[in-house]
Amino acid sequence: MELRHYRSSMIKESIRIGQMQVAEVFHKYGQYEEALKSYSAVREVCTTSHHVYDLTLKLLDVYLNLSNFSGITILISRAKSSASKLSEQELGIFDIYLALSYFGLGDFKNAANVLLSLKLSTFETNGQSMLPLIPCDVAILGTLSALASFSREDVFQRTIQNSEFQKFLETQNEMKDLIEMYKYAKLNAFFDFLNGKLYLAKSFMSEKNELLERLVYLINEHNLPIMIDEKEMKVLFDEKASKKKVDIVCNEMDSKLTSLEQFYKSNQIKNI
């Protein structure tokens, strides 16, 4: 009985190795549809949890290259529910792919939630060459997704005040500068950076330019100051203040906001 079981296991292992080798050749040369077929055939002959985990990572990379973002979320959900136990490292790697799937689907709030929860140790232990993102990518995408999704208070709390995410920001100082601009309401510089200089800092999948443009557009929309009504402003002032003084202050405020709105409109990235 044991001999029969051993023989069956050896046959399965031989099939697994052969199919994996075929799939990896297709994968290496960018024939992702063929690679997907071969990897799918391997699933039936995986005999250990390590084999299943390794196969899942291969499939995630293929799905990412095919821009099958919904497939990534489904695969990760299955892997997390079926695996008996996943290490913190393994969960961290899954979360990297999960964040990219949310980002690819345009779900920037969920992307931000995942990106801002990543640990730098995940990248240090596994080696950056094995993963679809490097730490500076996490800093860029995490910051931008947060700016497009969260309130002003939450942005500060979950980026600058997040000790783990600070480690990622150290790898991309321009994102730290962007958050500082936002913090101190240097909005001209903030919008100028988003609409121009940002694209010099990109290191994440250059073919995804449209997604980044869409994200920058949402940030602009999310943070554009609302024009203040002069009558409402007057109510906020001390009733004893002279009407002349109130009018001067309100007019100056209105002028500044109008200038900022004109600057924004002239630099606004078109909606995609």
Q: DSSP labels for 184-229? A: TT-HHHHHHIIIIIHHHH--S-GGGHHHHHHHHHHHHHHHPPPPPP
The Cα–Cα gap between 208 and 211 comes to 6
pTM, rounded to two decimals: 0.74
Name the CATH topology of 87-220.
1.25.40
* Helices and strands (DSSP H and E) totals, the chain: 16, 0
pLDDT tier for residue 13 given thresholds of 50, 70 and 90: confident
Domain ranges of the chain: 1-70, 87-220, 224-272
pLDDT exceeds cutoff 70 at 57? yes
Provide, rounded to the nearest whole percent, the portion of the chain with pLDDT above 90: 31
Average confidence (pLDDT) over 213-220: 74
pLDDT exceeds cutoff 60 at 12? yes
User: CB of 203 within 8 A of CB of 96?
Assistant: no
pLDDT exceeds cutoff 60 at 247? no
Amino acid in the structure at residue 10: M
pLDDT tier for residue 171 given thresholds of 50, 70 and 90: very high
The Cα–Cα gap between 47 and 54 comes to 12
